[in-house]
Amino acid sequence: MNELIALRGTQTSLVLERQAQGAPLWRYWGPRLADDFAAGPALADEPCFKGFLLDQPLRLDVFPGAGLGWFGMSALEAHHEGRDFAFAATTTAIERTENGLIIQLNDAVAKIAVALRLSLDPVSDVLTQSSELTNMGDTTLDVQWLASGVLPLPANCTQVRHYAGRHANEWVLQEDPLGRATWLRENRRGLTSHDTFPGAVVIADGTTAHAGPAYAAHLAWSGNHRQAIDWIGDGRWQWQMGLGLAPGELRLAPGESITTPDMLATCSIQGWQGAARNFHQAMRDRIDWPGGAMEPRSVHLNTWEGYYFDHDEAALIALADRAAAIGIERFVLDDGWFHRRNDDTAALGDWWCDADKYPSGLLPLAQHVRALGMEFGLWIEPEMVNPDSDLYRAHPDWALHIAGRAMQTSRNQLVLDLTRPEVSDYLFDSISKVIADLPLAYLKWDHNRDLVAAADSTGRAAYRRQTLAYYDLLRRFRAAFPQVEIEGCAGGGGRIDAGVLPHVHRFWTSDCIDALSRLRMQQGFLQFFPPEVMGSHIGTAPAHTTGRSQGQAFRAAVACQGHLGVELDLRTLSESDEADLVRWIAFYKTWRGLLHRQTWSGSASDGLVWHAAGSPQEWLLFVYRTEPTAQHFAPPLQLPFVASDARFAVRRIDPGHDGKIAAYDASWLHHGGLSIPPMLAERAVIFHGIAADTGGAAHGQA
Ligand code: DGJ
């Protein structure tokens, strides 16, 4: 039998089979196998029906190539001036790394070399794959498709859970059956996009949020992408993800190489929530916090929905006073502060302070904010230019465009060509000049349109290079201002992905702050990303993007799931709402240590949705009623996440309720369930549970 090569995580294993020739075969990726697992017969053994199969039929390998007997989707589509369309390794070398493998596949006939890197993190169980392609020929290699990774999915998989949406309505869950038709999602919007999240979860029949096999993958990339699940003839599927490439976009000169973005994947037998927790750990490893470690997530006041472009310095100073008084810790000045930015028709690109609104610059406001004990943050949208701006008038050619074609604005703006060094230099210099003089702790970095006609000055598609240049610009700012945290925003959630995560510290989840919509969207966000980077604000009622109204307590209870902020006009708050807001902010500060740890969520019958955070020994449980009850009594809520060998002291703790402690055995919480008090629609209740052997002291308090 051929040699088997295994990688082991805590809950997962993968097994490859070395072949005499060619790339190793995919034998297994799934729940953890015993160390001395006994593998069945080699995959390449007898077919169950030979029919007109090739005499040496190919099975799924780690990098299936076209044209030589593999009839499924190929991991590579490339050619040298119309030749060398087929790919198969003529020599293969496999090297072990600390947690993984480097598989070197050289095709001497096609003159193409591919190095695959696989690494299985033993703690998070997240498998990271990438491929590096080198043109070994003496003519240009034109690449149309290069998979970052290839994964096998077992035959009992039945469904793909993935996310669609639009601006102000992101993370709309889609559930597609898996069949023989290729499941394909492609994003051509130039940035991660609101409507095609680069990731999905594949489940088997009977898998639930908390039990059963779930296979999840995500492409760490902020640009165009392709993700495909392709039936492979033995009942299984292969899952590929990679860059989306426009024609001619990726051409490698002789000797040139390209490395793909990472494809991150994980598997859990604790359902799709188990996969989410694995991802949370891996994402946390990617974040580069100022000072090396996350500080408790400070409560924001963001000026956008309360003030929009109406920047009046005296009013903002008064707002800062009020914000500090209610417990806000970071004051973020959103869009509207720079030269002639009075609405969204003009000024993007002109990165200097508006002298009418701020006669002495931003420093007095920033200093006032600092003197009140808050941090100061500022909004920017570097990659954009309005045709009505000094920058565009001076450099119309700096916007991405195709010569001879009309330019298409969106929100009255065009996209700057960051691949031109002079453009990135201008942005770095002009924005640095503004922020260098400020006591700045935070930048909110926005991007409010899709890319079209994204050609560089030579007419070649520049989507991929634009994304790389965006990462470079972020790196420059991080290096120059290492103490500054950055929020990734793109009209809300248009650029949320693990590719940008090493450069940012928070995502603005959506421009929709309607708490009912947010409940659903936040579920999607938390499938891949941890709660501490999920920007979630208490907005106003009615919500600006939906027109729906919910009570402030419900809005606050939903916002407390993530990194809390307030985004409303404090001047309009009634005295009692202001007093309540103070209590909610204090509540968040008390519990943020638990809120930003492990999470679980689910839905029960009769319109109840729940979210829990902390650890199996100590947790906060939020129970939300999204609809009026259709029953006379609510059934107890079963809690699958509590540690199974403990007794719990459980207490209702939402602001305004100092509940009595009730004792529950874990088995009762698991199977019998927690009693839920009567709740009207769009209300929330919050419980704290702590295992008795922890001495009853709440550990999660910050
Ligand atoms: C879109 C963002 O998502 C909003 O939060 C706000 O920053 C606006 N842009 C400002 O133009």
Which residue type does 203 have? I
| Residues 673, 458: Cα–Cα separation, whole Å | 65
Answer whether 115's CB lies under 8 Å from 102's CB.
Answer: yes
Identify which of 236, 162, 151 has the alpha carbon closest to the alpha carbon of residue 202: 162
- SS3 state of residue 608: strand
Of 39-48, 62-71, 166-175, the least confident:
39-48
Q: Which of 107, 334, 450, 511 is catalytic?
A: 511
> Of all helices (H) and strands (E), which one includes residue 614?
strand 608-614
Confidence of residue 40 (pLDDT cuts 50, 70, 90): confident
Helix segments in 287-405, DSSP class H: 304-307, 313-326, 363-371, 390-394
Q: Is pLDDT of 564 > 50? A: yes
pLDDT value of residue 695: 52
Q: What is the pLDDT of residue 693?
A: 72
Q: Which atom of ligand 1 is nearest to the CA of 510?
A: 3
Please report the atom of ligand 1 found closest to the CA of residue 444: 7
Distances (CA, A) of 190 to 224, 304, 426, 447, 454: 5, 25, 22, 11, 8
**Quick one: which atom of ligand 1 is closest to the CA of 492?**
3
How many whole angstroms from 200 Cα to the centroid of ligand 1?
Answer: 27
CA-nearest residue, atom 6 of ligand 1:
304
Residue type, 189: R
Cα(307)–Cα(569) distance, integer angstroms: 7
Give the residue ranges of DSSP H helices in 256-407. 271-286, 304-307, 313-326, 363-371, 390-394
Q: How confident is the model at residue 450 (pLDDT cuts 50, 70, 90)?
A: very high
Residues 6+ apart with CB under 8 A from 60: 25, 26, 72, 150, 152, 232, 234, 236, 238
Active site includes 511? yes
Q: What is the mean pLDDT of the chain?
A: 96
Q: Per-residue pLDDT averaged across 496-516, rounded?
A: 98
User: How far is the centre of ligand 1, averaged over its atoms, from the C-alpha of 492 (Å)?
Assistant: 7
Using CB atoms within 10 Å of the CB of residue 297, give its burial: 0 to 12 exposed, 13 to 18 middle, 19+ buried: buried
Kindly state which CATH superfamily the domain 74-286 is placed in: alpha-galactosidase from lactobacil brevis (2.70.98.60)
pLDDT-derived band at 694, boundaries 50, 70, 90:
low
- How confident is the model over 330-342, as a mean pLDDT? 98
Instruction: Find the mean pLDDT for residues 661-676.
Output: 96
Residue 366: φ, ψ to 5°:
-60, -40
pLDDT digits (tens, 9 = 90+) for 227-246: 999 999 999 999 999 999 99
Percent of the chain with pLDDT over 70: 99
Residue 106 has what pLDDT?
A: 98
**Position 42 confidence tier, pLDDT thresholds 50, 70, 90:** confident
CA angle 513, 517, 519 (to 5 degrees): 95
In this prediction, residues 473-489 reach a mean pLDDT of 98
Is the predicted pLDDT of residue 701 greater than 70, yes or no?
Answer: no
3-state SS class at 80? strand
Confidence of residue 658 (pLDDT cuts 50, 70, 90): confident
Structure-token pair, residue 176:
């597609």
pLDDT grade for 702, boundaries at 50, 70 and 90: very low
Ligand 1 interacting residues, C-beta cut-off 6 A: 304, 334-335, 379, 446, 448, 489, 491-492, 508, 511
DSSP string, 136-202: -SSSPEEEEEEEEEEEEE-TTEEEEEEEEEETTEEEEEEEEE--SSPEEEEE-SSSS-SS--SEEEE
Question: Cα separation of 359 and 382, whole Å?
Answer: 23
pLDDT, tens digit, for every residue of 460-478?
A: 999 999 999 999 999 999 9
- Tell me what the mean pLDDT of segment 57-84 comes to: 97
Superfamily (CATH) of domain 601-694? Golgi alpha-mannosidase II (2.60.40.1180)
Ligand 1 centroid to Cα of residue 300, in Å, is 15
Please choose from 446, 447, 486 the residue to mutate so as to test ligand 1's pocket, defined by most ligand atoms within 8 A of CB: 446
User: Tens of pLDDT along 86-145?
Assistant: 999 999 999 999 999 999 999 999 999 999 999 999 999 999 999 999 999 999 999 999
CB 131 within 8 A of CB 114: yes
pLDDT digits (tens, 9 = 90+) for 139-162: 999 999 999 999 999 999 999 999
Catalytic residue at 446? yes
Q: Map residue 43 onto helix, strand or coil.
A: coil
Q: List the beta bridge partners of residue 130.
A: 117
Q: Model-level pTM?
A: 0.98
Give the separation between CA 625 and CA 641, rounded to whole angstroms. Answer: 20
Cα distance between residue 214 and residue 237, in whole Å: 14
Mean pLDDT over 579-600 rounds to: 98
| Residue 599, pLDDT above cutoff 90 | yes
pLDDT at 1: 72
Q: Are strands 506-508 and 250-252 parallel, antiparallel or unpaired?
A: unpaired
* Domain ranges (residues) in the chain: 74-286, 297-384+419-449+467-593, 601-694
> Which pLDDT score is estimated for 43?
81
> Of 379-383, 407-411, 697-701, which range is least confident?
697-701
Instruction: Judge whether residue 61 has pLDDT over 60.
Output: yes
| Rounded Cα distance, 665 and 516, in Å | 32
Averaged pLDDT, 292-308: 98
- Rounded to a whole number, what is the largest CA-CA distance in the chain? 82
**CATH fourth-level superfamily of 297-384+419-449+467-593:** Aldolase class I (3.20.20.70)
Determine the distance separating the centroid of ligand 1 and the alpha carbon of 446, expressed in angstroms: 7
**What totals of helices (H) and strands (E) does the chain contain, helices first?**
11, 35
Identify which of 652, 641, 648, 651 has the alpha carbon closest to the alpha carbon of residue 685. 652
Report pLDDT for 409.
Answer: 98
The reply to whether domains 74-286 and 601-694 share a CATH topology is no
User: What was the pLDDT predicted at 45?
Assistant: 80
pLDDT at 696 over 80: no
DSSP string, 652-682: E-STT--PPPEEEEHHIIIII-B------TT
Q: What is the pLDDT of residues 605-647, one digit of tens each?
A: 999 999 999 999 999 999 999 999 999 998 999 999 999 989 9
Residues 430, 436, 439, 440, Cα dihedral to 10°: 50
- pLDDT, residue 698, reads 52
Counting beta carbons within 10 angstroms of the beta carbon of residue 296, is it exposed (0 to 12), middle (13 to 18) or buried (19 or more)? middle
pLDDT at 53 over 60: yes
